[in-house]
Amino acid sequence: QKEVEQDPGPLSVPEGAIVSLNCTYSNSAFQYFMWYRQYSRKGPELLMYTYSSGNKEDGRFTAQVDKSSKYISLFIRDSQPSDSATYLCAMVRGSYIPTFGRGTSLIVHP
């Protein structure tokens, strides 16, 4: 079992939908949680970064962490075609190297 599991998709939704992207993990020592967005032919871009359970909101994006269930989510409200990309979750404990999920491909169609 990989330390971080992420459904590769693709996830296809209509414009304006609420999108839910998820990762599960097995190592309860993870302390910090990140979501990256990666467009085709570009590097991963940091979207959200949190270190506590609960929700963190930034514009149309909400990151949710449930440490008791070892589950993190990224919600995108009012999704736009420009949100079409691959979304990678990542998590880290202390000074260790971050562990990445394999990414979920999201397609938002007009």
Partner 1 sequence: DADVTQTPRNRITKTGKRIMLECSQTKGHDRMYWYRQDPGLGLRLIYYSFDVKDINKGEISDGYSVSRQAQAKFSLSLESAIPNQTALYFCATRASTGQPQHFGDGTRLSIL
Binding site for partner 1 (CB under 8 A): 8, 31-32, 34, 36, 41-46, 49, 51, 88, 90, 92, 94-95, 97-98, 100-103
Q: Least distance (Å) from partner 1 to the CB of residue 47?
A: 10
Radius of gyration of the chain (CA): 13
Q: Least distance (Å) from partner 1 to the CB of residue 98?
A: 6
- Is the Cβ of residue 5 or residue 17 nearer to partner 1 in the bound state? 5
Q: Least distance (Å) from partner 1 to the CB of residue 37?
A: 11
List % helix, strand, coil for the chain (3-state, nearest 5).
5, 55, 45
CB atoms within 10 A of CB 4: 22
- Is the Cβ of residue 25 or residue 100 nearer to partner 1 in the bound state? 100
Q: In Å, what is the CA distance from 27 to each residue of 3, 31, 72, 74, 81?
A: 6, 10, 13, 19, 34
Q: Least distance (Å) from partner 1 to the CB of residue 36?
A: 8
- Is the Cβ of residue 43 or residue 59 nearer to partner 1 in the bound state? 43
Q: In Å, what is the CA distance from 100 to each residue of 5, 7, 50, 81?
A: 9, 12, 15, 25
